[in-house]
Amino acid sequence: MTTAPLPSADPGPLRSYGPADTQVLEDFPGDRGTVFLVHGGFWRARTDRSHARAAAVAMADRGWRVLLPEYPRPGMPGGGWPGTGDELRRALEWVAETPGPLVLAGHSAGGQLALWLAHQPVAARAAGVVPLGGCLDLRLVHDLGLGDHAAGDFLGGSPEEQPEAYATADPAQLGPAPCPVVVVHGRDDDIVPLEVSRSWFDRCARPDRDRLLTVDGDHFAVMDPSAPAFATVLETLDGFR
């Protein structure tokens, strides 16, 4: 997944949640609650948190404190499943006591990770989850071959080869989330097609609580502060205050 369409931004102050180089978060200050924003990149080592900074800055400008964690990906020490999830759980433990509402958000692969985190005890106080163009049905992501078969590389094989990994990592197999979920997905997304979010919604959403919002734009519009779709992202976050 290329990150070229997204604008750049300066990094935020760095905080450590452990001794490894990947155990860090960028901290963009705000005083109206916290967004724990998980970057995407199909879980690939080549894509780090830098492409999510512009979105983080825009959310902070809205008044949110935004915490942008790094995490190990396949091919990195501790990366792959379940190590990637374990490290993000440690990162969330570091911020779990921040004041105000806590919203879990994530783009692309980060959407899967954010929604998975919502099912973990460490996220018990989360007010909601906002996946953005998220890989929310890992079996479907695998079957469609998205990201050059990224789901199989992340989980160590196909659903038939690694059924336990898919059962524990795939939001579409975890049932309704413990807190409200608002999925935002671009209608013209050809990197993670809208059908991936629809599949999760049809299988796991609580229609009386959860929402699927489709917006104009492609895979990157939901992370681009200059795109009209990003206004929907900001309004969605504000709904959890």
Strand positions, DSSP E, 49-166 = 65-69, 102-107, 126-132
Domains of the chain: 14-238 (3.40.50.1820)
- Residue 14, judged by CB atoms within 10 A of its CB (0-12, 13-18, 19+), counts as exposed
For residue 3, is pLDDT > 80? no
Does residue 82 contact residue 166 with C-beta atoms inside 8 Å? Answer: no
What predicted TM-score, i.e. pTM, was given to this entire model? Answer: 0.96
For residue 5, is pLDDT > 80? no
State pLDDT tens for residues 45-74. Answer: 999 999 999 999 999 999 999 999 999 999
Give the whole-number percent of the chain exceeding pLDDT 70: 98
Q: pLDDT band for 98, please (50, 70, 90 cuts).
A: confident
Give the whole-number percent of the chain exceeding pLDDT 90: 93
Q: How far apart are CA 104 and CA 180, in angstroms?
A: 11
pLDDT of residue 95: 84
For residue 87, is pLDDT > 60? yes
Does residue 139 contact residue 169 with C-beta atoms inside 8 Å? Answer: no
Strand positions, DSSP E, 100-204 = 102-107, 126-132, 182-186
State pLDDT tens for residues 109-152. Answer: 999 999 999 999 999 999 999 999 999 999 999 999 999 999 99
Q: pLDDT band for 97, please (50, 70, 90 cuts).
A: confident
The pLDDT of 97-112, averaged and rounded, is 94
Which amino acid does the sequence have at 100?
A: G
Q: How far apart are CA 9 and CA 4, in angstroms?
A: 13
The pLDDT of 22-51, averaged and rounded, is 96
Does residue 121 contact residue 142 with C-beta atoms inside 8 Å? Answer: no
Q: pLDDT band for 13, please (50, 70, 90 cuts).
A: very high
Which residue's structure tokens are 């958000």? 105
Whether residue 82 has a cis bond before it, omega within 30° of 0: yes
pLDDT of residue 1: 41
pLDDT of residue 2: 39
How many alpha carbons fall within 13 Å on the CB side of residue 14? 12
Q: How far apart are CA 162 and CA 193, in angstroms?
A: 24
DSSP 171: G
The pLDDT of 195-208, averaged and rounded, is 97
